[in-house]
Structure formats: C-alpha cells, structure tokens
Chain A
Amino acid sequence: MPITGVADGKYGLREYLAFIGASVLEDKRSVLVGTGLPMIAAMLAQKTHAPNLLIIFEAGGIGPLLPELPVSVGESRTYYKAVAASSMHDVMSLCQLGYVDYAFLGAAQIDMYGNINTTVIGRHDSPKVRLPGSGGANDGGSFAQKLIIIIANQSQRTFVNRVDFLTTPGYLDGPGAREKVGLASGSGPYRVITQLGIFDFEAETKRLRLLSLHPGVRTVEVKENSEFDIIMSDNAETSPEPAVRHLQILREEIDPAGVVLGK
C-alpha cells in the first residue's frame, strides 16, 4: 500500500520524504548535507522548526540561508548569506574534529548495520553500474556523530545482506567494530528513511530496527522489501504527516521548478 497521503494525491512521495527528512533534524544542530533530498530536507527544517540549524557543505559553505535549491554542494548558493565561505580542508577538518552533528546522505544500497554503497553495482573491476563513488560520504559517515541515510526505493535490491561495495561505514560488522578500526567512538548511523518508514539502530546489536511506519504502510511490506531481517519493534509508531505550510514551502520556496520533488 502506498502512503495514504500520496495515494490521496495530497502530496508526492518525494515531498513526503523531504518532510520526513526535515523532521529528524533538531534545531541548533549542524548538518553536513549531500545533493538532492538531504539538501531539501535541511532547507525545509531551517524554514520551519529548526531556524538555527547550521547547514554545512563539504566544499566550504558554512551556515547559508539557502535562497533556492543548489545543483551542486560547491556552488555559490551553498554560501549565500552564510556565516563563512572557506574551503574543503576547513570543513572536513571541522567534521573530523567533531563539530558536525549530522551527516545526511543518499545511498544506492544499505545493509543491516547501516553500511552504505554509492560506488558500484556489481564487481568493482567489471561494474554493472558505475556510480560516482564516495564523494564526501565516507567522510561524513566517518566523522559526523549521527549519520542519516535516505533511500527512496527500499527493496530487496537496496536493502541487501551484503553491499556490493562498502563505500561509507555504518556499524561495519556490529557492536564495537567502528571503534576497533579507529573510527570515533559513539558515532554511527542514526536514522534511515525510506518510502515505507523510518528506522533506527538497536543499541545492543547495532542492527536496523523499524521505528515508525509511514501512514498506510503495513509491517509486512517493510519485511518483504528487505533481503535481511529488520528488527520489528512492538510499538512502531506512525510517521508524522506534513502540514499545508510544509508543502507550501517545498513547492513555492524550495523547489518551484519541481527539479527533485516533481513527478
């Protein structure tokens, strides 16, 4: 079953995901954002419940008031009315130092520990589909305290037992693994957002767990659309619904051309 509001034609799936993405970002935090939905989610959060959200771009933009959707994480929009416009060395050093709360990324594949792939589908030496690679994703996933991942098409092809290429670290092979390889302790995946629900990671096992179902989605769909077993919590809630003003901001201010949010 599709999300009720999508089926009713109240909003598009991508609009809903942008809203959900925004809803997981708290005010007065800093977020390193990737291209597309993560950017839109951060913009929406900043224009609604999180006016003091510090948006950070890997190429050097720090704390902009984004006037429109940037095409690139390195273009001039990314430091429009910003507090600083510096360099990749500066931003990445700040991330490594621990100044960045969230990294917000997209991915092509994810496993039960939140490890993600944005490099290649198939074998590395003879790729079926060559994807762009890490970009700043490995850095965000290594340095940020909380990693948020958005995948708009959860299925057995994207929620996999083993990612074809481990581009960006989640919890690697389980509890303690990040610390063991030298990554900052206490960091790691925080939320995963798909077209079916919102997920977190169980503290003891570091495994993906259902946190809430989008309105109209059934638990069985979450199970069916994953190669690995997702931990089902007994009291999974229903994800929130956007208000009219959220949709208005998305449609009129953030992406009026429908570049990402359009059909």
Chain B
Amino acid sequence: MTAKDAVSTFIHDGDFIASGGFGHVRVAMAIIYEIVRQKKRNLTMAGKTAVHDLDILVGAGCVNKVEVAYSFGHELRGLSPASKRMVETGQCKVIAETSNAAYQWRFLAGMMGLPFIPSRNLLGTDTGKYSSCKVVKDPFSGKPINLIPAAYPDAAFIHVHRCDIYGNAQIDSIVVEDIELSRCARRLIVTTEKIVDNELIRREPWKTKIPFFVVDAVIEAPYGSHPCEMPGMYYYDEEHIAEWLKLSRRPEGVDSYLQKYVFGVDTFKEYLKLCGGIKKINYLKRRESLREPMIAPWRKEA
C-alpha cells in the first residue's frame, strides 16, 4: 500500500488521530505530509508529547482540536510559532489538558479494554480540572484517587525500524507509548524503514513490539522520519527544522513551506531529494552516531 492509499482509506475528516514516537523522534512523516496533501480537516489530535508532527498538522489547518499533554513547543528549540499562533488566534482549540503519564495511561486503559486507570497525578491542579479525568474516593483506602479514561483513537500512525508485509513491526529503541497506542487505536498505519521477510521477524520475535493483527496498513518509507530523528539510524535535520521554524513565524511562510515540500512533490522520495538527498542523509547518519558536531541553526531565529 502507498501512503496516499493508506491515508485516503483509513483517515477521515473529523477523526481523532494519534502519532507514534515522541513528537520529533521516530515519526511517520510520510503519513503526516499525506494528510496535509489530501487536505484532511477537523481532525482532533492527541498532544501526547506532540512536537513537529502536530506543528505541521495544526499549521496546515488539518488539526483544529488538541488534547494537550505537551504541544505547541519544539523542546530545546523553543515554542512552535505555527501551532502556537493557531491556538492564540482561536483557529485551533485546546479541548482538554493532561500530562504525559496521563495520556500514556489513557492508551493503557484502552489497550487493556478497561474504562479507566487509577493514578496519583493531576490531583489538585488546573491540569486535572481541565482534563477528561475524574477524582473519586478510593473504595479501599478512602483517599481521593484520579481516574484516567481510556482513549481509542480512530487512527494512529507509527514509524518503525523494520516490519514484514503482514504488519509485524520491530522497534530498535525506546518504544515510548507505542505498545499501548498500537493496540488501542481503531485503525493503525505502520510505516517502516524497511519491509523485511517474515522469516527475519520470526528469527528474533522478542524485538516485535506490534503484532500483525492490530495493523491495517504497512508502508515502506526509507528515512520516513525525516526531518525528525530515527534512533540508531539518523538524527534530526536541524537545518530543515530551522527553515520550518523560521518560515512558520508567518502564515504566508507556512503556505510557502507546504507548497514547496508537500504540495510540490508527489512522494516522500521526491521530498527527500529536495531536502538534500543522499548527501544530507549520510550527514544525518554521521550526526546520529556522534561523528559530526551539534548544530543549532534555529537558535539564531529564536
């Protein structure tokens, strides 16, 4: 299946979507760009540490509602001009606040087929008040306890290191919350650096984090996390991210970025060529393995 087919088949206007990885680490960018290209609208997104993934989708006008654990920021790079502006101008609504652990446990409850998970965070705060959680009396101890409701995203997309044609997916890094998300999502698109033989998966089954029966589509997307990091393979393309952060300070800049890198190309391969092709990729590989020094081109733009 292609990214184009997967998005048109499994992601619909108005869906509640979630992106795997960690916002700018191991992100299914081929799917994100395709959602923009197909002009999906009125999506609600899980801001479960959402960084570059959410910034692009909010900036492009695809996502207009967010449940926020961490959103509208680029971690060390500072705030995200595009999605921050969309919220401050009322074009994107924050429908609830929560925390990273609480979001993760929403997925855990979903994965376990339970209505909620009890927890001891969010208590006593505005984050709790503005969340979808409820505080009740623990019937055992009599003390207050927070209940985190299950989440079942309509569609999720997760980028992995390797996967077979059936959807058995292996991740060679921290899984963040992808074990839970992959199981609680109603529809799941997996993009993979490489499609491998089922034989290879069966040789090291302990590496499989997502089994085939929860997967709806598998798409081979080499370097498919670009400009985000793919752990162990390639680092962030800081120059590209800096270009986005600079351009996206103005709405017209968002348009010109999307025109160039999303609407102006048909495939992820063409996009990669535009971003510097194999020469850039080789640099990002060296950077990932600490053979190139750290650069922070976005720092000047801050």
Contacts and interface: CB of A to CB of B under 8 A. Distances in A.
Interface stretch (A56-64, A196-204, A205-213, A231-239): A56-64
Nearest to A260: B76
21 contacts: A59-B22, A87-B174, A89-B177, A95-B101, A96-B120, A119-B127, A124-B130, A133-B71, A133-B97, A133-B127, A134-B68, A134-B97, A135-B69, A138-B128, A139-B101, A142-B120, A166-B125, A167-B125, A168-B125, A182-B135, A182-B145
Contacts of A61: 174
Nearest to A136: B100
Contacts of B72: 130-133
Nearest to A57: B174
A132 B73 CA distance: 5
Contacts of B290: 67-68
Interface in A155-204: 165-169, 172, 177-178, 180-184
A55 to B, nearest CB: 14
Given A135-B69, A182-B135, 20 more contacts: A68-B290, A71-B236, A72-B25, A74-B49, A74-B174, A89-B105, A119-B97, A128-B88, A134-B98, A136-B99, A136-B100, A138-B121, A139-B99, A139-B101, A142-B121, A143-B101, A166-B127, A167-B125, A168-B127, A182-B124
A51 interface: no
A50 interface: no
Contacts of B120: 96, 142-143, 182-184
A138 B135 CA distance: 16
A13 interface: no
Please indicate which of the listed interface residues B24, B25, B77, B145 has the most CB atoms of chain A within 10 Å of its own CB: B25
Interface residues of B, number: 67
Interface in A110-127: 115, 119, 124, 126-127
A95 B102 CA distance: 13
B279 interface: no
A177 B124 contact: yes
Interface of B: 21-25, 47, 49, 51, 68-73, 75-77, 79, 84, 87-88, 90, 94, 97-102, 104-105, 108, 119-128, 130, 135, 138, 143-146, 173-177, 179-180, 229, 231-232, 236, 288, 290, 293-296, 299
Nearest to A183: B123
A87 B290 CA distance: 23
Contacts of B229: 72, 75-76
Please indicate which of the listed interface residues B99, B144, B174, B231 has the most CB atoms of chain A within 10 Å of its own CB: B174
Contacts of B77: 71
A73 B73 CA distance: 13
Contacts of B146: 182
- Interface size bracket, A side: 35 or more
Please indicate which of the listed interface residues A59, A119, A165, A262 has the most CB atoms of chain B within 10 Å of its own CB: A59
A139 B103 CA distance: 11
* A-B interface, 10 closest residue pairs, ranked by CB to CB distance from nearest: A74-B22, A60-B174, A132-B73, A182-B144, A181-B124, A135-B70, A92-B101, A76-B231, A139-B101, A138-B99
Contacts of B101: 58, 88, 92, 95-96, 136, 138-139, 143
Nearest to A36: B76
A54 interface: no
B250 to A, nearest CB: 17
Nearest to A182: B144
A256 interface: yes
B143 A182 contact: yes
A60 B88 CA distance: 32
B10 to A, nearest CB: 25
B133 to A, nearest CB: 11
A180 B126 CA distance: 16
Please indicate which of the listed interface residues B100, B123, B177, B288 has the most CB atoms of chain A within 10 Å of its own CB: B100
Given A68-B294, A72-B25, A256-B293, A88 B75 contact: no
B24 A134 contact: no
Contacts of A71: 24, 75-77, 236
Contacts of A128: 88
